[in-house]
Structure 1
Amino acid sequence: MLLEMARRGEIDPWNIDVIDVTDRFLKKLEDAKNLDLRISGRVLLYAAILIRMKAETITLESVETTDEGEEDETPSFLIDDVEFDDGILEVLKSQRRRIRKITTLVDLIRELRKAEEVERRRKKRKVVERDIVKKTLVIFKEENLEDIISKVEREVLRILRSKKSISFYSLVRGKSVGKILDYYVSLLHLAFRRKVELNQREVYGDLEVKLP
Structure 2
Amino acid sequence: MNAYPNRDRNNPQELGIALLIEMAQCGEIDPWDVQVIDVIDRVLSELRTRSADASQEADLSESGQAFLYASMLVLLKADRLLESPEANPADDDFDEAIPELDDSGSDRAFPLRLEKQLRRRAVARPPQQRRVTLQELIEQIELMTETIAKTPKTSPRRRMNSLSRSKTARAIAQLAHQENLSEVADGLEQFLVNHWSKITQGQDWLDLEQLLASQPQNDRVGVFWALLLLSAQSKVELAQEEFYQDLKIRVPIG
Q: Same fold (TM over 0.5)?
A: no
Q: Give the number of the structure whose residues are more often helix, by fraction.
A: 1
Q: Please report the TM-score for the alignment, with normalisation by the length of structure 1.
A: 0.31
In our comparison, the structure showing a higher alpha carbon Rg is 2
